Amino acid sequence: MVDFTALAVPGVQALRPYQPGKPVEALERELGIREAVKLASNENALGPSPRAVEAASQALRALHIYPDGNGFALKEALAERHGVAPEQITLGNGSNEVLELIARSWLAPGRNAVYSQHAFAVYPLVVQAVSAEGRAAPARAADSEQPYGHDLGAMAAMVDAGTRVVFVANPNNPTGTWLDGEALERFIAQVPAETLVVVDEAYAEYVEQPDYPDPTQWLGRFPNLLVTRSFSKIHGLAGLRLGYSVSSAAVADLVNRVRQPFNVNAVAQAAGLAAIGDTAHVAQSVRMNREGLRQLGAGLQQRGIGFIPSVGNFITFDVGEEPGAVYERLLREGVIVRPVANYGLPTHLRVTVGTAAENERFLRALDAVRQT
């Protein structure tokens, strides 16, 4: 028998694939449960913009035609939104693909990437896949102002001559912690000019703190800066897989060299273009999330359950020594949350902000689980 694992590149041999949140259909099929609710993947409970749905529907009529491989109209709209040139935009099949393209463009054996402990699981995956070295800097303490958040000093200390990429999640998943503009700008200025700084802002639109920065405005001063955004969260287009990055034109050109043609389909491009223009839907999503964070936070606090204060559309909470058992019991109550032991948080689970009714159902299910 041929050992195909041994024939794979070293990084892939030991790679453990990313595990997405459990689908509702799978839970209902396995346990015979009806009307389950999924609060595991940080999806927008409000759903997509009606304008995006209509645009997607119209695009379906031309499915026999290849999409615009350059994404001209969408890139023009995104460029206007960020005050940059279209040549500075790179479109991705979700922002995850952009992260992978970055790894393929800058990392290789003998090179390394730096990211924070408890940061988004895709960073170490894309680094390992290209057989580069991943360096996880210790996070901030559990009792700090930003519990388990990025320690920028610790990250800076790990950067050396072999570091080609630094990943910074702002805000971070799964902790929900964030970095203010002064701290982030000072950190980027410390990073060597030949090291790419990737600021991952998948949840940026949810953040309402006044000193939360928009690093796309710093591109003129930091040519080694790249910012990623997603349509999966605030815009509710997770099912279409659409994301992008904003960078210097030189960096975008390199990323686009390894990007596959037609990586963003025509339906996603049409829906994304419409979603950008629906500012009312975005505002409503932010309001709903604000209220949901308060509802979940108050509910957890009333039950004496510790949690990490979050500015995203999720909360990570501490259930003690048996999170796996709590997770399984919640499944039997028809509520899907997310285990985060693989993020280095072995006693925690993460719950997405849902509708008011879904949030209340989660809290009731939590009560039932704790009584068993």
d(CA 69, CA 59): 15
Same domain, yes or no: 293 and 267: no
Q: What pLDDT, on a 0 to 100 scale, did the predictor assign at position 144?
A: 94
Evaluate if residue 25 carries a pLDDT over 90: no
- Average pLDDT of 160-169? 98
What band does 11 get if pLDDT is binned at 50, 70 and 90?
Answer: confident
Average pLDDT, the chain: 95
d(CA 340, CA 349): 6
What band does 272 get if pLDDT is binned at 50, 70 and 90?
Answer: very high
Q: What pLDDT, on a 0 to 100 scale, did the predictor assign at position 174?
A: 97
Same domain, yes or no: 166 and 241: yes
Evaluate if residue 30 carries a pLDDT over 90: no
Same domain, yes or no: 161 and 273: yes
Q: What pLDDT, on a 0 to 100 scale, did the predictor assign at position 214?
A: 97
Task: Confirm whether 2 is domain-assigned.
Answer: no
Pair 146, 140: CB distance under 8 Å: yes
Same domain, yes or no: 139 and 88: yes
Q: Name all contacts of 257-263 with Cβ < 8 Å and 24+ positions apart.
A: 257/105, 258/101, 258/104, 258/105, 259/90, 259/91, 259/92, 259/101, 261/69, 262/66, 262/67, 262/69, 263/91, 263/92, 263/93, 263/97
Contacts with 313 (C-beta within 8 Å, 6 or more apart), sequence order: 42, 44, 203, 206, 233, 234, 289, 292, 293, 352, 353
Same domain, yes or no: 85 and 182: yes
Return the higher-pLDDT residue of 342 and 192. Answer: 192
Q: What pLDDT, on a 0 to 100 scale, did the predictor assign at position 23?
A: 79
Write the CA distances from 165 to 118, 198, 216, 218, 230, integer angstroms: 17, 7, 17, 18, 20
The number of distinct structural domains making up the chain is 2
Lowest mean pLDDT among 10-19, 39-48, 200-209, 349-358: 10-19
Task: Confirm whether 3 is domain-assigned.
Answer: no
Q: What pLDDT, on a 0 to 100 scale, did the predictor assign at position 13?
A: 77
**Residue-wise pLDDT tens digits, 344-353:** 999 999 999 9
d(CA 164, CA 31): 46
What band does 247 get if pLDDT is binned at 50, 70 and 90?
Answer: very high
d(CA 348, CA 324): 9
14 exposure class (CB count in 10 Å sphere: 0-12, 13-18, 19+): exposed
Same domain, yes or no: 64 and 179: yes
Of the candidates 297, 354, 362, 292, which has an alpha carbon nearest to the alpha carbon of residue 47? 354
50 exposure class (CB count in 10 Å sphere: 0-12, 13-18, 19+): exposed
Backbone angles phi, psi at 187, to 5 degrees: -65, -45
- Average pLDDT of 118-140? 96
pTM for this one? Answer: 0.94
Domain at 309, CATH number: 3.90.1150.10
Lowest mean pLDDT among 126-140, 178-192, 280-294, 318-332: 318-332
Question: Starting at the edge strand that comes first in sequence, how are the strands of the sheet with 307-308 ordered?
Answer: 307-308, 314-318, 348-352, 338-339
Instruction: Provide the residue range defining the domain that includes 339.
Output: 20-47+280-371
